[in-house]
């Protein structure tokens, strides 16, 4: 895709967000973002017994790129396992949004992905802890953009 | 040159001709003497929707040199003007998101290269949106122009040597427009933003902290002139002084520069675009931490 096609794709997600909303109950929910600049994403996930995402929703507000990124990730991650989610990275967003757009606002572009990855990791950590008879840990909202 | 927005005249500002209302813009959408320029922090906001006829000037990709840490040079500025259909006598009206941060930043650079008729749409995108006025995604194709820029105007841009000279002269009229947390050194950037950009936290020794937002109303418009006078004079930033404003990279301080220069009419006020990302990384630059200037 050329730059214009990427932008039209991003605007389509901005205008017609996929999987936007919340899951109640969710197996895991996690908030991420930069409240000072107004970019917020909360991810809600449900997994099956094989650690595969069966349901995903997101809520958020902020700039065009961060919110379109939420929609893109919420669509892309459905059906992936936690291990597969961990394999995603900035390259994923480059493929989805175009490297030029991602480069211009890398933290906005990777906020949803980073939040998803943190949520999936937390889910696996807690699953392991519960299996060992330990209480699950809670993680506060944080800045989960993917560092490059 | 388009007619002035005379509704600004009763606000008491020193240069009311530098402001236009959203209504004035709505009334001049088809005025060939006017070019609307949108400059935003949100890099795709223009694509989401803009005022009909407006062109996009991206503060990062259009106004910055790709290699040197500097703005585009005079020749590149002329090419930019030609591309977006601005002639030397065009009335350029800036607007954008975030209380016109980047609108005033772009305006400042246009003035730097000598564009005469520059104005700000008071309230920016938020006010236009709030009033239910329309957006479009149609990107206008304005005829290219031949544009001749002037030599850069050194009287509105400060470099680190200028800041140091002000400090050396004593009682510097330095305005740090960042948040109190950035000023005191608690944070390197505004709350929530990535904490990056400088090696040290704090403020330029001697600077007064007057956050840019104190000059804006809740709806993004500029505050009344009496309140602005009290705000700056109350902190010792008086019109007789040589004033330099700064923030992190010079965008928030463009807002304050605009207020001091055109709304209050200060003769000598410069924007230090190197700002904290430069000063906070300079070896042996005088820095202070805490709530006091020194």
Q: Do the Cβ atoms of A63 and B193 come within 8 Å?
A: no
Catalytic residue (one of B19, B109, B247, B263) = B247
Question: B259-276, pLDDT tens digit by residue?
Answer: 999 999 999 999 999 999
Which residue of B lies nearest to A68 if distances are taken between CA atoms?
A: B44
Distance in angstroms (rounded) separating the CA atoms of residues B206 and B70: 26
Which chain B residues are closer than 8 Å to A10 by Cβ?
44
**Structural domain boundaries enclosing A123:** 3-134+142-147
User: What's the pLDDT tens digit per position in A47-87?
Assistant: 999 999 999 999 999 999 999 999 999 999 999 999 999 99
Q: How many other CB atoms are there within 10 angstroms of residue A88's CB atom? A: 20
Mean pLDDT of chain B: 95
Q: Identify the closest residue of chain B to A33 by CA–CA distance.
A: B192
User: Which residue ranges in chain B fall short of pLDDT 70?
Assistant: 188-196
What is the Cα–Cα distance from B277 to B244, expressed in whole angstroms? Answer: 16
- In chain B, whose CA is at the least distance from the CA of A40? B192
> Under a CB-based contact definition with an 8 Å cutoff, are residues B271 and B254 in contact?
yes
> Can you tell me the ipTM of this complex?
0.83
Determine whether the interchain pair B42/A101 forms a contact, defined as Cβ–Cβ distance below 8 Å. no
Closest chain B residue by Cα to residue A97: B44
Taking CB atoms and an 8 Å limit, are A101 and B44 in contact across chains? yes
With CB atoms and an 8 Å threshold, state whether A35 touches B61.
Answer: no
Tell me the CATH number at A98: 3.90.1010.10
- Residue B221, number of CB atoms within 10 A of its CB: 20
B247 is catalytic: yes
- Could A63 and B41 be called an inter-chain contact, meaning their C-beta atoms sit closer than 8 Å? yes
pLDDT at A34: 64
Please tell me the distance from the alpha carbon of residue B120 to that of residue B90, in angstroms, as a whole number: 14
CA distance A63 to A85: 24
B60 — contact with chain A (CB < 8 Å)?
yes
Residues in Cβ contact with B213 at an 8 Å cutoff, skipping those fewer than 6 apart: B99
Alpha-carbon gap: A27 to the closest alpha carbon of chain B (Å): 27
- B233 contact A CB<8A: no
How many folded domains does chain A comprise? 1
DSSP state of B141: -
How does pLDDT run across B145-155, given as a tens digit for each residue? 999 999 999 99
Q: Distance, in angstroms, between A64 CA and closest chain B CA? A: 6
Q: Chain A contact for B191, CB < 8 A? A: yes
**pLDDT tens digits, residue range A7-58?**
999 999 999 999 999 999 999 999 988 655 678 999 999 999 999 999 999 9
Q: Which has the minimum average pLDDT: A102-111, A115-124, A126-135, B138-147?
A: A102-111
pLDDT of residue B106: 98
Q: Does the beta-carbon distance from A35 to B44 stay under 8 Å? A: no
B41–chain A Cβ distance below 8 A for any pair = yes
Q: To the nearest whole angstrom, how far is the Cα of B46 from the nearest Cα of chain A? A: 10
Interface of B with A in 119-138 (CB under 8 A): 137
pLDDT at A148: 45
Residues of A within 8 A of B137 (CB-CB) are 11
B47: chain A residues, CB-CB within 8 Å:
7, 11, 64
For A36, which of B45, B137, B190 is closest by C-beta distance?
A: B190
Q: How far apart are CA A16 and CA A20, in angstroms?
A: 9
Q: How far is B95 from chain A (nearest CA, A)?
A: 17
Q: What are phi and psi of A130, to 5 degrees?
A: -65, -40
Q: Tokens representing B185? A: 């050194």
Contacts across the A-B interface (CB distance below 8 Å): 48
Instruction: Find, in chain A, the residue whose alpha carbon is nearest to that of B194.
Output: A34
Residue B38: DSSP 8-state: E
Q: Which residues are CB-neighbours of B174 under 8 A, at least 6 positions away?
A: B163, B166, B167, B204, B206, B207, B208, B243, B244, B245, B246
């Amino acid at each position: 895709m050329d730059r214009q096609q990427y932008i039209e794709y991003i605007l389509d997600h901005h205008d017609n967000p996929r999987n936007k909303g919340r899951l109640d109950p969710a197996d895991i929910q996690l908030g991420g973002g930069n409240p000072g600049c107004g970019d917020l994403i909360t991810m809600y996930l449900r997994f099956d017994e094989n650690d595969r995402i069966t349901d995903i929703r997101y809520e958020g507000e902020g700039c065009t790129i961060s919110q379109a990124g939420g929609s893109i990730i919420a669509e892309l991650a459905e059906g992936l396992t936690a291990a597969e989610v961990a394999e995603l990275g900035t390259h994923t967003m480059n493929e989805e949004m175009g490297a030029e757009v991602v480069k211009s606002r890398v933290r906005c572009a990777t906020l949803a992905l980073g939040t998803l990855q943190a949520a999936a990791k937390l889910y696996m950590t807690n699953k392991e802890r519960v299996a060992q008879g330990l209480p699950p840990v809670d993680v506060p909202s944080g800045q989960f953009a993917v560092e490059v | 040159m388009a007619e002035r927005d005379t509704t600004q005249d009763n606000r008491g500002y020193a240069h009311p001709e530098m402001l236009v209302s959203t209504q004035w813009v709505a009334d001049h959408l088809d005025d060939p003497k006017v070019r609307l320029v949108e400059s935003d922090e949100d890099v795709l906001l223009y694509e989401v929707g803009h005022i009909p006829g407006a062109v996009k000037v991206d503060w990062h990709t259009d106004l910055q040199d790709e290699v040197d840490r500097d703005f585009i040079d005079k020749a590149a500025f002329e090419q930019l003007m030609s591309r977006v259909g601005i002639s030397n006598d065009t009335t350029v009206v800036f607007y954008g998101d975030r209380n016109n941060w980047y609108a005033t930043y772009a305006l400042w650079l246009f003035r730097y290269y000598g564009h005469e008729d520059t104005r700000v749409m008071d309230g920016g995108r938020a006010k236009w949106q709030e009033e239910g006025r329309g957006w479009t995604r149609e990107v206008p194709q304005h005829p290219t122009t031949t544009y001749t820029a002037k030599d850069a105007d050194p009287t509105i841009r400060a470099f680190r040597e200028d800041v140091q000279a002000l400090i050396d002269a004593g009682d510097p009229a330095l305005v740090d427009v960042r948040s109190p947390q950035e000023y005191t050194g608690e944070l390197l950037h505004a709350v929530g933003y990535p904490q990056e950009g400088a090696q040290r936290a704090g403020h330029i020794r001697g600077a007064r902290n007057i956050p840019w937002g104190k000059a804006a109303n809740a709806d993004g418009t500029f505050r009344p002139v009496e309140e602005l006078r009290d705000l700056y004079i109350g902190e010792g930033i008086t019109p007789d002084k040589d004033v330099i404003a700064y923030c992190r990279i010079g965008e928030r301080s463009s807002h304050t520069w605009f207020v001091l220069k055109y709304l209050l009419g200060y003769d000598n006020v410069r924007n230090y675009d190197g700002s904290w990302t430069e000063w906070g990384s300079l070896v042996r630059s005088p820095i202070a931490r805490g709530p006091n200037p020194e």
